[in-house]
Structure 1
Amino acid sequence: MTTAPAHRTDPRFPGWDWEDPAALGALTDGFTENLARCASIETVRDRLPRTRRELAGLGVTGIEFAAFATRHPEAIGTDLVAVRSPDATTESGPLYRIDGSHLFTRLDISEPLPLDDHSVDWVYAEHLIEHVPLPVAVHWLGEVRRILRPGGLLRLTTPDLERYVRGYLDRDEEFFRRHRRRLRTLRVGPPMPERRAFMLNQIFYHFGHRWIFDEDELRHVLDRAGYQGWTVERRAHQEGHRPDVAALDTAFRKDESIYLEARAPEAS
């Protein structure tokens, strides 16, 4: 009788098979939903403020996408997934205050953003763009370009395909070892298989990923979204044109990420 591989039989994660990413969808969705839990939800406005003046009245200068709990004091965090407390669940439309501190609203980036032109100073998105098909990414980036003021800043971070390919070619596998250790600290499933081919495949097929980028691919999608004439620069972890925005980079994702900023031309 053949014994099943250990990663398929770990009693701490029943039904978890790293080699079947489609079947893991519900399990990884459950992990995300756990991240979106909070103690309290307060409705601040019945609708998201649209104008620069309205946002400034709330002390808001920017939007952090893919964030249930933004750490920026002048930001609204947003995600498609609802935030839940023991007594309430966020819906699309209103603006909420989560745990008495940070602002949140639910947005679907495949839809037009409910904000006026030139309404925000900056937009930040960490590990979001790889979760949507390329046409959705182009649409969303076009909307971001529309809502940023002249001189405004977009900072994108996403898994860097070039780093993963280099990790695959590295026979010492230091990059993949670090990546497996990081995921273990989050308790995302049992230990991953240690095969290099698996570790390259997982960045394409796990965690709801739809399109993986290197620098050239990010520049391509920005170009398709109309960013000609913008200043586009590669940056390092927590280094950028606006230190307060760059500080939103998480150390957990430093080794695997590419950081790219696009800055709008100043008004003539």
Structure 2
Amino acid sequence: MPQDEEPREMADDALRPWNWEDPQELAATVDSFTEDLARVETLEPELSAAVLDRSHFDGLGLTGVEFAAFKTSHPQALGTDLVSLVAADGTTTERGRVYLVDGTARFAEMDITGALPVADDTVDWVFAEHLIEHVTLRAGIAWLSEVKRILRPGGLLRLTTPDLKVYAESYVKGDGFFAKHRRRMNRALTGVAPAMPARGAFMFNQLFYVYGHRWLYDLEELTYALTSAGFAEEAIVVRAYREGARQDVADLDQVLRNDETIYVEATA
């Protein structure tokens, strides 16, 4: 999907029941969508290694890792996800291997709740968009510690997540954010879901319960998690959408949810 476009309407055969008021049902629906997104045309195994080091990255022309990306758009990124990719011929990705996806992107399965299969001081940058909120605070800090470990000295982490402060202020002040965000999400989910309810309490609750979120962050909470993981507080910088220390990494920001997102960078 082009980075500047919001998702188009889902095909009719992708439609599934969607009930905003039933998080468990919705979680099953989202899991089904994820399985669909994990289907690709071709998978070509490129190397096998229990732990990827700098020589592996250099050999493949890679400089960084994009987490929660089935098919990264960055030409020098290794895309990763917990979910396996499945090719049209039935080939499925396996842990410990790097694959060329559809002839254009590299991918390796990784689980952020465990040790990352990457050697110390290996990558120049890491990008993770709307990922950390899907695990507990403890798991998030452990993952950030692993990110700090695999980054080279001076390497960059760009981390984005829904900003709890934006939601809390909108709920209290009625500043118009909820209406704007509903319009954006309704357009993106046309043909997939009924319109999001307009109630303020619903808009606040859905941030916590609808998407499988486990812990929500504002800047103070992100700073706590990052410093607990070993990043220096003075190395943490708040950024704007698609603005950052490395433009190629900042350009990975997706447009759809930039109105609710806090963008933070931390240097190792």
TM-score (norm 2): 0.89
> Which of 53, 72, 75 is the matching residue for 1:73?
75
Q: How does 1:236-255 map to 2 (within 5 A)?
A: 236-255=240-259
Q: Is the 8 A contact 2:231 2:267 kept in 1?
A: no
> Which of 201, 207, 211 is the matching residue for 1:207?
211
Tell me, in whole angstroms, the C-alpha distance in 1 between the residues paired with 2:50 and 2:69.
Answer: 16
Partner of 1:8: none
Overall identity of the aligned pairs, in %? 52
Partner of 2:7: none
Q: Report deviation, 1:180.
A: 2.0
List runs of 5+ in structure 2 lacking aligned partners. Answer: 1-13
Partner of 2:107: 104
More deviation in 52-61 or 151-160?
52-61
List runs of 5+ in structure 1 lacking aligned partners. Answer: 1-11
Q: Is the 8 A contact 1:230 1:263 kept in 2?
A: no
Q: Is the 8 A contact 1:48 1:105 kept in 2?
A: no
Q: Report deviation, 1:14.
A: 6.2
Aligned length: 252
AA aligned opposite 2:113: S
The root-mean-square deviation of aligned C-alpha atoms, in Å, is: 1.7
Q: Render the CA deviation track for 1:154-173: whole Å, top value 9, x for unaligned.
A: 0100000111112223436x
1:197–1:178: structure 2 CA closer, same or farther, 3 Å change rule? same
Q: Tell me the SS of whatever aligns to 1:96.
A: strand
Residues 1:91 and 2:111 are matched in the alignment: no
Q: Render the CA deviation track for 1:154-206: whole Å, top value 9, x for unaligned.
A: 0100000111112223436x322222223233325221111110000000001
Q: Is the 8 A contact 1:238 1:249 kept in 2?
A: yes
Partner of 2:20: 18
Q: Report deviation, 1:65.
A: 0.3
Q: Is the 8 A contact 1:49 1:55 kept in 2?
A: no
Q: Render the CA deviation track for 1:82-123: whole Å, top value 9, x for unaligned.
A: 222222222222111111100011100111011111000000
Tell me, in whole angstroms, the C-alpha distance in 1 between the residues paired with 2:171 and 2:15.
Answer: 27
Partner of 1:192: 196
Q: Is the 8 A contact 2:16 2:29 kept in 1?
A: no
Q: Which has the higher contact order (CA 8 A, sep 6+)?
A: 2
Q: Tell me the SS of whatever aligns to 2:46.
A: strand
Partner of 1:140: 143
Q: Which runs of 4+ in 1 moved over 3 A?
A: 12-15
Partner of 1:5: none
Residues 1:42 and 2:44 are matched in the alignment: yes
AA aligned opposite 1:152: G
Q: Is the 8 A contact 2:94 2:109 kept in 1?
A: yes
Tell me, in whole angstroms, the C-alpha distance in 2 between the residues paired with 1:30 and 1:14.
Answer: 9
Q: Tell me the SS of whatever aligns to 1:233.
A: strand
More deviation in 88-97 or 56-65?
88-97
Partner of 1:156: 159
Tell me, in whole angstroms, the C-alpha distance in 1 between the residues paired with 2:218 and 2:228.
Answer: 16
More deviation in 174-183 or 231-240?
174-183
Residues 1:221 and 2:221 are matched in the alignment: no
Q: Report deviation, 1:229.
A: 6.2
AA aligned opposite 1:163: V
Tell me, in whole angstroms, the C-alpha distance in 1 between the residues paired with 2:24 and 2:127.
Answer: 29
Q: Tell me the SS of whatever aligns to 2:30.
A: helix
1:235–1:23: structure 2 CA closer, same or farther, 3 Å change rule? same
Q: Tell me the SS of whatever aligns to 1:64.
A: strand
Tell me, in whole angstroms, the C-alpha distance in 1 between the residues paired with 2:267 and 2:16.
Answer: 47
Q: Tell me the SS of whatever aligns to 1:113.
A: coil
> Which of 229, 238, 263 is the matching residue for 1:234?
238
Tell me, in whole angstroms, the C-alpha distance in 2 between the residues paired with 1:48 and 1:223.
Answer: 29
Q: Is the 8 A contact 2:136 2:215 kept in 1?
A: yes
Partner of 1:130: 133
Partner of 2:174: 171
Q: Report deviation, 1:227.
A: 1.4
Q: Render the CA deviation track for 1:116-154: whole Å, top value 9, x for unaligned.
A: 110000000000000001111011000000010011000
TM-score (norm 1): 0.89
AA aligned opposite 2:169: R
